[in-house]
Amino acid sequence: MRALTWQGRRDVRVESVPDPRLEEPTDVIVRITSTGICGSDLHLYELLGPYLDPGDVLGHEPMGVVEEVGREVTSLAAGDRVVVPFNVSCGTCFMCGQGLQSQCETTQVRAHGKGAALFGYSKLYGQVPGGQAELLRVPFGDTLPIKVPHGPPDERFVYLSDVLPTAWQAVEYAAVPPGGTVAVIGLGPIGDMAARIALHRGAGRVIGVDLVPERLARASARGVTVLDVGELGKGLAGAVRELTGGRGPDAVIEAVGMEAHGAPVARATHHFVGVLPDALAERLMERVGVDRMAALYSAIEMVRRGGTISVVGVYGGMADPLPLMTMFDKQVQLRMGQANVRRWSDAILPLLTEDDPLGVEGFATHTLPLEEGPQAYKTFQAKEDGMVKVLLTP
């Protein structure tokens, strides 16, 4: 089969690799029809090379049609249409029973002290082959895949793999009071969708912050009050407070993570780590890694006293300095974590109707053949060509 593979820093290629096969009686094989490129994939493209091997298959946002099922699978059959969550979760352990599929005890990557394995996301999360490929082996066939109806286009459902549940959890964790105000820092795919969900769920006002004109325009068209951080700079928090009567928003969703602009020292550290030998880079990242935390600092500064910060942007540093005195004084509540896809998927699925209240159809700015994946990574990372969300079609 053809698959998009990691070969080195900023080097991904589509290559022919062996077809996956059933390894356990509970596995299914899915022929992929659509698969997304996630902002988190850019961390693999740019920074997390020490935890990848050349040839690793990338991607964790796939959907498709079941081609083969293991002998113990009873809820799916060949021909069924499914979305594959990015968490590799069993659905039956203690953590899955708590709705914490991202902490699944069956697939926890204990060698690295991490939670549940993820499709296509490095040795840190199990080195499981990903879904930017023609075929994908999916374990736990009776509990992991999300069965969806035939008929509507893939774009109606594909975001159940990651974007929708991640954004839904971000809003859930933000605990925006009815009619309250939430600021969303970062209007990439997750931040954009979180803003839409917050409005759908009753937020009185959503303030969106970004510096990419196309992202700001998309959010504004959906009723979001947008602020250009490139124009405001250090005055961002003051501008947000001005929009909220001087108090600050009830909640802030931080949807940027370690990609934040405005942190030159941490940026230089990221580049330095990227050129070190793998063994040395791993030790440096795991013991003294520092992230670019401008977005999180902004969230702490702008949220109202007693407010909530929901962190959905990905961080990787082990020595990140937090302004704990400020957080304590402001009585800030902080929630974060990988999305628990299966916890939210049943609540989201009824919204993926012909009415399309969240605007999933047309959410992708680019739909490209799998073979154009390497150029798509390059364009997405550079934020060029108005690229906000990419779907690949194997």
DSSP state of 338: -
Residue 270: its H or E element: helix 264-274
Over 50: is that where the pLDDT of 394 sits? yes
Task: Taking residues 120-124, report their average pLDDT.
Answer: 93
Task: Check: CB of residue 17 under 8 Å from CB of residue 54.
Answer: no
> How many CB atoms lie under 10 A from the CB of residue 92?
13
pLDDT for 286: 54
Residue 330 has, within 13 A of its CA and on its CB side, a CA count of: 23
CB neighbour list of residue 32: distance below 8 Å, 6 or more residues apart:
62, 63, 64, 131, 133, 134, 135, 136, 394
Tens-digit pLDDT profile for residues 32-77: 999 999 988 988 888 777 889 999 999 999 999 999 999 999 999 9
What does the pLDDT look like over 132-182, one tens digit per residue?
Answer: 999 999 999 999 999 999 999 999 999 999 999 999 999 999 999 999 999
Average pLDDT, the chain: 91
Question: What is the Cα–Cα distance from 192 to 198, expressed in whole angstroms?
Answer: 10
* Vertex 19: Cα angle to 13 and 22 (nearest 5): 135
Examine the pLDDT at 288 and tell me if it is beyond 50.
no
Distances (CA, A) of 293 to 165, 257, 264, 317, 349: 24, 7, 11, 10, 34
Using 50, 70 and 90 to split pLDDT, how confident is the model at 280? very low
Mean pLDDT of the region 195-203: 97
247-268 confidence digits (pLDDT tens): 999 999 999 976 644 444 444 4
**pLDDT score of 293:** 82
196: tokens are 């839409």
Q: What is the DSSP letter of 137?
A: E
Q: What is the DSSP string of 4-68?
A: EEEEETTEEEEEE-PPP---STT-EEEEEEEEEEPTTHHHHHHT-GGG--TTPBP-S-EEEEEEE
What is the pLDDT, as a whole number, of residue 353?
87
Q: What is the mean pLDDT of residues 93-116?
A: 96
Q: Give one word for 265, left, alpha or beta, with left for phi > 0 and alpha for psi -120 to 50.
A: alpha
The per-residue pLDDT for 383 is 87
Query: Could you tell me the CA-to-CA distances from 124 to 166, 186, 212, 253, 282 in Å, in that order?
Result: 20, 25, 31, 25, 10
